A = this chain, B = another copy of it.
Amino acid sequence: MNIAEIAEMAGVSRAAVSRYFNQGYISDEKREAIRKVVEETGYRPSVQAQTLRTKKTKMIGVIVPKVASGTIGKIVEGVLSVLNEHGYQALLAVTQNDAKKELEYLTAFCDKQVDGVILAGTVFSAEHKRILKNLSVPVVIVGQQLAGYCCVFHDDYHASYDVTKLFLQKGRTRLAYISAILQDQAVGAERCRGFQDAVRDMGHGELAQRFVTASFTLASGYEKAGELLEKYRDLDGLICATDRMAVGAVKCLRERGIQVPSQVLVAGHGDAEMARALSPSLFSVRYFYEKSGQIAVQMLMEQMGHGEEARREVKLGYSLVEPEI
């Protein structure tokens, strides 16, 4: 069954059938005739043929470092909720935190002729920037700021600054910090810089170097908390770049008989569900991950319509989450 046959059965021109399926102008009489034939035959136009004609695939490539993570899960749900409203669907690629795979998918998506790309990136190498520059479709970066690109990200610096300041104001002046890798601009570098600037501004510059770097796991937070305890026996506060690290750290502290939060106050970032699982729950920072995914799609849609004019950088706020006792 094809358009020509539908046209013949309905007694109209092929152009009329085409307009029918593409929401073009068509008389009520012809519309009704076509509708009847379509209903009787169950005919549906081929999406691929439409794509060849319109050059639009109605698909967006979404590249994320992993899926089994609350943070990324929220971003993806935000993306999908708005994409679907716009009649688009998401082609999802997971890179397992492998920068090489990120580059492969960026290239592959262009071959697949998606209409746009949303990239939840972590590290931007020179190669990333080269490929991003040459992308034939609009791209929005979510979770990281990258100059010259449409991006939506979080105010990681001030969030970390505020948590640190609050810890010092609470009298926790023998603080330490567990950082993520500094190549990760948002979660690594910006949050660590927030910690360092806050301790200096509050007159505790001696704390600025009291930090170690962990990977994004419970086990790593556990291990690094142990190292810090060996080194700083007077520790009374511990701020971690992510909730997952912080939950690992709390486990380490408790196993050594250290009371949390009375002896050591612990904070993370991200308002993860597992942070709320602790009793009392963790001190944390809420970022608007789902919102960032929604905004990313809106920006992408605007770029697809207006090009350069639509380019902007959006920095979202945050709120501190005090522990529930």
Contact = CB atoms under 8 A, between A and B. Distances in A.
Contacts of A9: none
Interface string A87-121: 00111111010000000000010011100000000
A66 B72 CA distance: 12
A76 B247 CA distance: 25
Interface stretch (A30-38, A41-49, A232-240, A299-307): A41-49
A74 interface: yes
Interface residues of A, number: 48
A107 to B, nearest CB: 10
A90 B89 contact: no
15 contacts: A52-B52, A59-B91, A62-B92, A67-B80, A68-B70, A68-B73, A68-B76, A69-B73, A80-B93, A91-B91, A92-B92, A218-B273, A218-B277, A251-B278, A274-B277
Interface of A: 44, 46-49, 51-52, 57, 59, 62, 66-70, 72-74, 76-77, 80-81, 84, 89-94, 96, 108, 111-113, 218, 244, 247-248, 250-251, 254-255, 273-274, 276-279
